[in-house]
Chain A
């Protein structure tokens, strides 16, 4: 199936740990994103990569580090996890330009205890 897939779907971890979330898209898109959805369902963009280059970097703690090994993958590594990092993280992708729509993954629910 063509899709944006994220792993893991659920992630429960303790404060202070380091964790990664992986994202892959097989839609041939050239631009990928990470969005954070908080407990009130508010969605906010975190990062975007276009052809492995960082193009959007919102005000996000530097404990969050995206990595794009190729244009089909965009991973998110989080160091020293804090309680406030608990959220659902969505990966998305699209063709850059012409405002083609975002295609979202199903999300990774991160719970920090």
Chain B
């Protein structure tokens, strides 16, 4: 069975500072990895995904993530955040083609001036 751990429940960060959100997963098979963002009172929006190939994945809004198979991690980074990046971020993993995603508990990013 798969599981996803997001190590930080909340990450406060100043505007224009870098941010890293940590995600670790466990699975006995190959997985597909995703990061989603949820703005207040909205649905989830895909930031980026890793299916195969290059381990460094670039997404929307300047975010990127690196897949590390040996450490079973998929950490999300952004070199310089904006106030508008304040949101909840979810890491998710899927083992199959049916799209059954296992989500982490989420990390709330709060960007202050």
Q: Is the CB of A104 within 8 A of B43?
A: yes
Q: Say yes or no: A102-B44 contact (C-beta < 8 A), given A41-B88, A41-B105, A42-B103.
A: yes
Q: B: which residues have CB within 8 A of A? A: 32, 34, 36, 38, 41-46, 49, 51, 88, 90, 94, 97-101, 103, 105-106
Chain A to chain B contacts (Cβ below 8 Å), 6 pairs: A31-B99, A50-B98, A90-B43, A101-B46, A102-B99, A104-B44
Report Cα–Cα, A40/B88, bound state, in Å: 11
**Interface size, chain A (Cβ < 8 Å):** 28
Q: Check: A55 CB closer than 8 A to any chain B CB.
A: yes
Also in contact, A45 and B101, with CB within 8 A (given A99-B51, A101-B49): yes
- The listed residue (B97, B101, B105) touching A102 by CB distance below 8 A is B101
Q: Which residues from B are CB-within-8-Å of A71?
A: none
CB distance from B107 to the nearest CB of A (A): 10
Query: Measured between C-beta atoms, what is the minimum distance from B96 to chain A in Å?
Result: 9
